[in-house]
């Protein structure tokens, strides 16, 4: 892949990383805030359930975002190592359309489909 194109992907990945980190910071505040209820009736179970639901939802989103952040960091490392855009399973070049849609892709479409059928991803 040409240096100009790698630079484009690097910028996209860095922007993704910043966006995810900012989202994680906000979600962390929600998940870790012990006083999230605005109710005048803090002992009301309906308010507590809503607060607990928001905390659990935030934690689940944080887990997904953390996984994507790891993929983004991995892709940035691959750019530095000259291995970006190469499928980790078959070693072939990942299609540009796939990288455009998911610049943090680890696998080409064929290998991803194979792994999904096998239940490995």
Question: pLDDT tens digits for 67-109?
Answer: 999 999 999 999 999 999 999 999 999 999 999 999 999 999 9
Average pLDDT over the chain reads 88
Q: For residue 35, what pLDDT is reported?
A: 59
CA 11, 16, 21, 22 dihedral sign is: positive
What are the residue ranges of helices labelled H in 33-118? 45-81, 96-101, 109-117
> Does the structure show a pLDDT above 70 at 45?
no
% of the chain at pLDDT higher than 70? 87
- Give the percent of the chain with pLDDT over 90: 68
Q: Which two tokens stand for residue 84?
A: 């970006």
Classify residue 89 by burial, with Cβ atoms within 10 Å: 0-12, 13-18, 19+.
middle
Ranges of each domain in the chain: 3-84, 86-121
CA angle 80, 85, 90 (to 5 degrees): 120
Q: What is the mean pLDDT of residues 12-21?
A: 97
Average pLDDT of the segment spanning 31-42 = 59
């Amino acid at each position: 892949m040409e240096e100009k194109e790698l630079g484009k992907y690097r910028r996209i990945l860095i922007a993704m990383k910043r966006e995810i980190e900012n989202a994680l910071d906000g979600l962390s505040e929600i998940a870790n805030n012990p006083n999230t209820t605005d109710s005048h009736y803090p002992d009301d179970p309906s308010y507590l359930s809503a607060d607990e639901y928001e905390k659990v939802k935030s934690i689940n989103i944080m887990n997904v975002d953390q996984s994507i952040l790891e993929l983004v960091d991995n892709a940035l490392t691959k750019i530095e190592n000259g291995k970006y855009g190469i499928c980790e399973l078959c070693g072939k070049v990942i299609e540009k359309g796939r990288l455009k849609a998911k610049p943090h892709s680890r696998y080409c479409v064929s290998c991803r489909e194979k792994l999904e059928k096998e239940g490995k991803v």
